[in-house]
Amino acid sequence: MISLWTAIWIVPTLVCNRIQFDPDFPPEVPVSETKHLPGQTDRPSESAGAVRLTSLVKRFGDHVVVNDVSMDVAAGEVVAIIGPSGAGKSTLLRCINLLERPDSGIVDVAGIQFDAATPVSGKDLARLRRHVGMVFQSFNLFPHLTVLRNVALPQERVLGISRTEAEEKAIRLLDRVGLKDKAKQYPGRCSGGQQQRIAIARALALGPQIMLFDEPTSALDPELGLEVLAVMRELAAEGMTMAVVTHEMHFARDVSDHLVVMADGAILEEGDPDRIFTDPEQPRTRQFLRAVLDR
């Protein structure tokens, strides 16, 4: 009996590190040491807070979703990524915080460099994600926690600060997104726009240098989308480095410093948003813009 119990209890506990409930969680984290490329630790250089993607390739089976894409986001810059669905925009964005592991290429975020060819240690992954906040199309708030706890819990677990301190900061951030009065509610009682603003507060609470937005308003009706966009505009005005995958063309044009147009896993063209909106170089860009703007 004793040995059976040992088998049932102890063995899984010992190898807890191998436990995986979801095939995508955590993204492949092989055990070997990460090989750092020369001169690439947490360097607080002029490129701090910036993203550099080099020759990124991501396949799902035989399907190449991101095909040899290189892209930069400078510190304090807002980059909007637009393009038809299936263009690989979201996948590209998810490669920045390694929610998707690229099959080849280099991800350089906040001075931490990851080569797709080299395994990433859990420690490096944690370091990367501390620098990068992410907002999802489907909000992904924790439904069993109050709004306040949603914003406070990650701080406690990631930054290791006390509950009181985390909740004070959570209140400040909720106030900032205009939802202080919702602190004691559960997310299920909030509108989509409110949930998305809470999700933004939750990400900001960890003090990221870069914020990724994956179609943050696509699940919202237009009116509710506006309140989310307003928060994002504010954030951009404060100098946050942002990469935004969006179908909001006004936002892309007005707020972004740099526009990236993607189709079929590649960048069609990129540059000044006004220039691209008024005079796109590529016929495919023109076709896409006409389709989205003429409705």
Partner 1 sequence: MNEILLTILAGVPITLLLTAGALVVGVLGGIPLVAARQSRAAILRLPARATIELLRGIPPIVWLFIIFFGLGTYVRLDAMSAAAIGLGLISCAYLAEIYRGGLAAIAKGQWEASAALGMPRTATLTRVIGPQVGRVCIPAAASYAIGLLKDTSVAFTIGVTEILYWANDQSRETSDAFWPFVLAAVVYIVMTIPCAWAARALDASLRKRVAR
Residues near partner 1 (CB under 8 A) are: 1, 4, 7-9, 11-13, 15-16, 18-22, 24-27, 97, 99, 125-126, 129-130, 132-134, 136, 138-144, 153-154, 157-158, 186, 188, 199, 202-203, 206
| 26: preceding bond cis by omega (within 30 degrees) | yes
Question: Cβ of residue 240: shortest distance to partner 1, in angstroms?
Answer: 16
Residue 164: CB minimum distance to partner 1, A = 18
* Token code pair at residue 223: 């009116």
Contact by Cβ (8 Å): 84, 288: yes
Q: Strand order in 51-60's β-sheet?
A: 63-73, 51-60, 104-109, 112-115
Q: How far is the CB of 189 from partner 1 (least distance, A)?
A: 9
CB nearer to partner 1: pick between 20 and 40: 20
Cβ-based nearer residue to partner 1, 136 or 288: 136
Pick the closer one to partner 1 by CB: 20 or 278: 20
| Closest distance to partner 1 from the beta carbon of 7 (Å) | 7
Q: Which is nearer to partner 1, 243 or 268 (CB)?
A: 243
Q: Which residue has the tokens 């909007």?
A: 80
- Shortest distance (Å) from residue 149 CB to partner 1: 9
What is the edge-to-edge ordering of all strands in the sheet holding 241-245? 132-135, 210-214, 241-245, 78-82, 258-263, 266-271
Q: Measured from the CB atom, is 23 or 39 closer to partner 1? A: 23
Residues 6+ apart with CB under 8 A from 64: 57, 58, 265
Half-sphere exposure at residue 264, Cβ-oriented, CA atoms within 13 angstroms: 4
